[in-house]
């Protein structure tokens, strides 16, 4: 799957609209994922997963910052996400199915907060972008 120039424009445009709500949206997406897909909580047994948890907020910011980096290096995701890719492969070892669950919750969060901007084309571009990021993060698993 290849991101077209239009996809890249859509992704960058959306991320600009996210502005400094990245951490907040990241945390919300995580909370939605934990609530809708309880099996994802198994990776966070060391976290307080209650609503408003400082740890979820902190982790939401981490996720958002990584996505910001990805958006900024959208022409070379493997390079930009190489360290994160190593981390997921050798330390975190999150089963690949979970990337789809978080990606879905990120889309829900963005659709909710940016309803007018979340057109069908933008929706498609974001889905492709998150799938590309997920592919890179699981690329060194075996």
Partner 1 sequence: MVHLTGEEKSAVTALWGKVNVEEVGGEALGRLLVVYPWTQRFFESFGDLSTADAVMKNANVKKHGKKVLASFSEGLKHLDDLKGTFAALSELHCDKLHVDPENFRLLGNVLVVVLARHFGKEFTPELQSAYQKVVAGVATALAHKYH
- Which residues of this protein are in contact with partner 1, per CB under 8 A? 28, 31-32, 35-37, 104, 107-109, 111-113, 115, 118-121, 123-124, 127
Hey, CA dihedral for 35, 127, 108, 74, is it positive or negative? Answer: positive
CB closer to partner 1, 92 vs 112: 112
CB closer to partner 1, 38 vs 78: 38
**Residue position matching structure tokens 């909710």:** 112
CB closer to partner 1, 73 vs 100: 100
Q: How far is the CB of 115 from partner 1 (least distance, A)?
A: 5
What Å distances lie between residue 126 and 8, 10, 41, 56, 102, CA to CA?
9, 8, 24, 23, 13
């Amino acid at each position: 799957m290849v991101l077209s120039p239009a996809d890249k424009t859509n992704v960058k445009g959306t991320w600009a609209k996210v502005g400094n709500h990245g951490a907040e949206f990241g945390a919300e997406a995580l909370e939605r994922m934990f609530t809708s897909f309880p099996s994802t909580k198994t990776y966070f047994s060391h976290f307080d997963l209650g609503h408003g948890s400082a740890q979820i907020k902190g982790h939401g910011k981490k996720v958002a910052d990584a996505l910001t980096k990805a958006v900024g290096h959208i022409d070379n995701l493997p390079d930009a996400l190489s360290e994160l890719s190593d981390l997921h492969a050798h330390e975190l070892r999150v089963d690949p199915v979970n990337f789809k669950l978080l990606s879905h919750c990120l889309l829900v969060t963005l659709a909710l907060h940016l309803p007018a901007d979340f057109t069908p084309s933008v929706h498609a571009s974001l889905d492709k972008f998150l799938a590309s990021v997920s592919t890179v993060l699981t690329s060194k698993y075996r």
